[in-house]
Amino acid sequence: MDIRNVDLNLLPVLDALLRHRSVTLAARELDMSQSAVSTALGRLRETLGDQLLVRTGRGMLPTPRASRLAEPVASILDQVRDRLLSASGFVPAESERVFSLCLSDVGSYVLWPRIVSAVAQEAPRVSLRMRTLMQPMIAPALEHAEIDLALGAYPELPVTLYQRRLFERKYVALVRTGHRLAGKRLTIQAFARTPQAVVRLASGIQDSVDAALAVQGLKRDQVLEMPSYLMLPPLLEAGDHLTVIPGQLAEAFSRHGHFVSLKLPFDLPASVIRMHWHRRFHEDAGNVWLRGLITRVFDRV
């Protein structure tokens, strides 16, 4: 039998008849007329090649085949109601879902603690996982649900991804408190001749620094390149290096060490921190909740 030739609208009728063993009671539950239920029963008998329900002195009784069908028919209808027709709600206080977020090293230091704290307050049983991915890997990971959200300055992500702006990230110079420049107005000449620790990331901010210096005929001569902002504090504390980093990260470092922020002697474009997700999960209830929570957290930044 080809399922395309089966009227699946008959399944609720069969389920009601098998439970009530009465055309009258089945019609009442389904809000149908008795004649309509009788007609549906006739079509079921023709489709399945079985009488299904037989009138006896004790009322209507199921045939052996109908008895075997009762449980799977009820199960199919339950799954349709629960998985297809019902709204896929998400109850934060009860959920045990695992969410994976992609953040940069700056995000892991500045954003992650706030997100963890906010999630713990609203959804104490939800688990969070943090991943760091190279920019070309982020879009495929979002599409295949390897991560739920990506937060950061990722200018090369495809425009087909959904995104929401969270805040702007401005840059400052950072030195240790005992540095010769601490507490002074930083000139562009002093900036250029100071040994620097440079972290080159996808934002391209270090290229902007080089361009600003080149306009004045200057360049940084003593440059120590490093792969991560998180490696900077020990180096800065141990010597006379200066570094250009996001202002929020400078504030975080200063809370845990002896550092001083300096205003840069030139203008740099601010990096925009955005939240990205794939259109497959735009209406997923859990994803919607997490995006809303993160948005509220960083509305205050």
What are the pLDDT digits (tens) for 244-257?
999 989 998 998 87
Q: Where in the chain is the domain with CATH 3.40.190.10?
A: 98-168+272-298, 171-269
- pLDDT attached to residue 120: 97
Residue 225: what pLDDT? Answer: 94
Query: 169 or 45: which carries more pLDDT confidence?
Result: 45
Low-confidence winner among 73-82, 104-113, 173-182 (lowest mean pLDDT): 73-82
pLDDT at 88: 60
CB-based contacts of 250, cutoff 8 Å, min separation 6: 172, 174, 259, 261
Interval 125-168: pLDDT, tens = 999 999 999 999 999 999 999 999 999 988 889 988 999 999 88
β pairing state of 271-277 and 223-226: unpaired
**Per-residue pLDDT averaged across 258-279, rounded?**
92
**pLDDT of the residue at 9:** 87
pLDDT of 169 reads 85
Model confidence at 241: pLDDT above 90: yes
Does 72 score more than 70 pLDDT?
yes
Interval 274-278 mean pLDDT: 94
Mean pLDDT, residues 53-61 taken together? 87
Token duo for residue 49: 């090649």
pLDDT at 270: 83
Question: What's the pLDDT score for residue 92?
Answer: 94
Label residue 202 by pLDDT band (50, 70, 90). Answer: low
What is the rounded distance in angstroms from the CA atom of residue 171 to the CA atom of residue 9? 63
The dotted CATH code for 98-168+272-298 is 3.40.190.10
Q: Which residue has the higher pLDDT, 295 or 1?
A: 295
Nearest-5° angle of CA 171, CA 176, CA 180?
A: 100
What letters, b where the CB count within 10 A reaches 16 and e where it falls short, cover 92-129? beebebebbbbbbbbbbbbbbeebeebbeeebeebebe
pLDDT at 287: 94
Rounded Cα gap, residues 109 and 167, in angstroms:
16
Domain 3-85 fold is: Arc Repressor Mutant, subunit A (1.10.10)
Does the pLDDT value for residue 68 go beyond 80? yes
Statement: the pTM of the whole predicted model exceeds 0.85 = no
Q: Residue 42's pLDDT is what? A: 93
CB count within 10 Å of CB 147 equals 24
Q: What is the pLDDT of residues 204-225, one digit of tens each?
A: 889 999 999 999 999 998 999 9
CATH 1.10.10.10 residue ranges in the chain?
A: 3-85
| pLDDT tens string 98-113 | 999 999 888 888 899 9
pLDDT computed for residue 83 by the predictor: 65
Q: Which CATH code for domain 171-269?
A: 3.40.190.10
CB burial of residue 63 (10 Å; 0-12, 13-18, 19+): middle
- 4 has pLDDT over 80: no
Q: What are phi and psi of 259, to 5 degrees?
A: -130, 155
Residue 199 has pLDDT above 70, yes or no: yes
The amino acid present at 294, given as its one-letter code, is: I
